[in-house]
A and B are shown apart, each in its own frame.
Chain A
Amino acid sequence: MRKAYCITAAELAERGRSGVPDELVSSAHLIYSSPATLAFNSPGARGFGVKRAGLAVPGSVMLLVSPGCCGRNTAALGGPGYGERFFYLLLDDTDIVTGRHLSKIPDAVREVCASCAAPPSAVMLCITCVDALLGTDMERVCRKASERAGVPVVPCYMYALTREGRLPPMAAVRAAVYSLLEPAGRRPDEVNLLGYFSPLVDGCELYPLLGQAGVRRIREISRCRTFGEYREMARANFNLVLNPEARYAAREMEKKLGIPSVELTRLYQLDKIRNQYRLLGEAVGAAFDDRRYYDAAAGAVEAFRRKYGGVAFAVGEVQNADPFELSLALIRYGFAVSEIYGTVGDANFAYLKKIARLSPRTKIYSNLSPTMLCYDESGSDAEAAVGADAVYYHPRLPGVGWNGERQPFGYAGVRALFGALDRALGAAGRAK
């Protein structure tokens, strides 16, 4: 059996951003999707892909217009809140070549609405690679369908072909789910959090910190129970963008609703989190007092280090963190990172360079490389794993998938991560 390709952090940093080897560039090779990384190249395979994300609008239903294969895994989303909200208009061989299915969509939307127990707030029309290639003007089709059915009809572009394009599907769908908001009188004490389809972890300091700035209502689409609550998002004074994939949606909201935005990054380095809150405070004209949150998170890190020593981690990318930023944080806290499974890009190459200085022998693997089929954990120095992919590669090590739907953020995220690691390593009897 061959070996999985890897390169050390030092070598990769030396090559520079433009010299990343082909084995780490997903467009340069076939794509391997291990059981743990299926959702990386195919977001709908797990968690929130376009189909599930499109249904973030309360009371909406989705009509997937595609060959049968595109809707196949939707049966896995048949859990509470989804099973009755998906409908399918299946395309045959003639449809996908001629586009004749487009004329059927308005009637299909009307039939879907008529079959619902209560009228849906909107029909999210999900279309796939077929219509991307046919060049369908789906805005026009949606207008026609909306006239026919008497409900808003919104296009959701599940165009996997454009994943590395200007507007990837997961960025486009974020814009789609906010597109039903109409201009409303803005309230100075209301804020929206954009970026995720499930809420931040309860206890996240972002809520009380915004309270310190006079914010009284913080809205997240995932916490809106009704279409009415959702529409109140149009009243926000500003949007906080917590995931870069929501940047485009925020820009669209600014154009249409006049709501400006501020972007925050999910970080695990405590000093960087503090700095980010300081800058946010300056932007909104408030001085945040984050001492107790900082101290609690720093205490969790220190307690873990005292209990387990300088653990060596394998860090993956199928988790609620950038693997390079988290690795850098772990190294700076006094732990080791023996390997990282991640995709190097413009956004995280700066972290990689810092890792190269502090831990030059850290190995970098690409989850998507076909050679990962040959990955052999026996050559690894890791003692614990973080990330669903790292846990998959190291089934015998204590590990934390850290890819739950509730979103960790800020100091609360750091605290929760080290709490989870403590439980995992404690259960494995790894205390010093």
Chain B
Amino acid sequence: MNGLLKVLPPFAPDQSGAVSALYEMGGLIVICDAGGCTGNVCGFDEPRWFRKKSAVFSAGLRDMDAILGRDDRLIAKLGDAVSQTDAAFTALVGTPVPAVIGTDFRALRRMAEKRTGLPAIAVETTGTGLYDEGEEQALLALFRTFAAETFPVERGTVGVLGATPLDFGSPRAGELLAESLARRGWNRAVCYGMGSGLSAVRRASAAEQNLVVSPAGLKTAEYLNRTFGTPYAAGCPFLPEHLEKSLAGLGGKRVLVIHQQVLANAVRDRILERADADVTVATWFLLKEELKREGDFRLTGERQFARAVGDGGYDVVIGDALLRRALGGYRGAFLGLPHFAVSGGPEKESEAAERR
């Protein structure tokens, strides 16, 4: 049955991606939920919650708020919270409750701006989408709102778009990306949302080039290109060290790489640099046409996934170890490549799978 998961748990939802993109921006983020979504976002999908404070709050909606559509109460609470904390802007993030009752987020955003005097953004996530859809929406809204001024281009500065712990697992991904880019000759790497905040977003036009490290960053890169003429490229400058070691010896093999599209593409490129192999990329998440090669495909369900792997005759599958569960009859090799948005664990399961 479509939509029935018997082996895999659900992956990170759109509201988690939205919060992840906004987490380090210094805004006051309100998840428009009753409480459970905030528990999932902060307690499960946001590893930074346990290390780095951010003003992420639940709207604490109750049944009568939803039934009567008491947006004014929400905005009054938002106003109070703004007066009690230090926030540069407010962000309203959707969940299934506003999706069911048809909340008008544009109106809510305007009400928030009027009440608080701060800029506001609204991300109309519904909880039915996947994390990168929310991340994409949030990034675009953020840059449209704050990257308004044209600064002189700083040669040697690269902007990194689409990096979150959900895409890369480690809360240190921003540092790792910056280090890799420094090794490639960039003087300065600005990793938006991981290590740099709102002031960097405001100065986005100063970047010489943008690097899109996950499909969620692509629309924003296009927007910055249209607005400021900033060129962009897609690619991932580093791969997990443990994976680099296991990529040797794939010559002549048929390989399926499963991850977010940009990282999966980078793994493919690295394999092909080393050996002549037949490598296909698949993803449960956004599959951008402009980043796709022939044969790449999107995964949509457990049964389709198992069938695709079985019918594809792959010798090696590279992906988050949790996915192995859905491949009961698969006899080939499985190399772990953690994807936080899949398993919610950066390394544990994938490393264990490799050891097996």
Contact = CB atoms under 8 A, between A and B. Distances in A.
Contacts of A41: 35, 38-39, 58, 60
B1 A108 contact: yes
A107 B2 CA distance: 11
Interface stretch (B5-13, B104-112, B152-160, B310-318): B5-13
Interface residues of A, number: 70
Contacts of B13: 67-69, 72
A88 B12 CA distance: 14
Interface string B20-58: 000000000010011111111011110001100101011
Contacts of B36: 42, 44, 70, 128-129, 158, 160
Interface in A49-70: 66-70
Interface residues of B, number: 60
A73 interface: yes
A2 B86 contact: yes
Contacts of B61: 161
B62 A162 contact: yes
A266 B55 CA distance: 35
Interface string B60-77: 111101110000000001
Contact of A104 (B1, B33, B55, B62): B1
Contact of A31 (B35, B53, B84): B35
A71 B9 contact: yes
Given A33-B58, A129-B97, A76 B44 contact: yes
**Best-buried of A72, A90, A97 by chain B (most CB within 10 Å):** A72
Interface of B: 1, 3-6, 9-16, 30, 33-40, 42-45, 49-50, 53, 55, 57-63, 65-67, 77-78, 80-81, 84-86, 95-97, 99-101, 126-128, 130, 322, 343-344
A396 interface: no
Contacts of B66: 129, 133, 161
A134 B100 contact: yes
Give the 7 A-B CB pairs with smallest separation, nearest first.
A42-B39, A45-B39, A160-B34, A69-B13, A68-B10, A69-B127, A45-B43
Given A45-B44, A90-B10, A93-B99, A30 B59 contact: yes
Contacts of A76: 44, 344
Given A96-B126, A163-B62, A373-B55, A69 B3 contact: no
B58 A88 contact: no
A69 B40 contact: yes
Contacts of B53: 373
Contact of A111 (B1, B44, B81, B343): B1
A96 B6 contact: no
A149 to B, nearest CB: 13
A75 interface: yes
Contact of A42 (B38, B81, B95, B343): B38
A73 B40 contact: yes
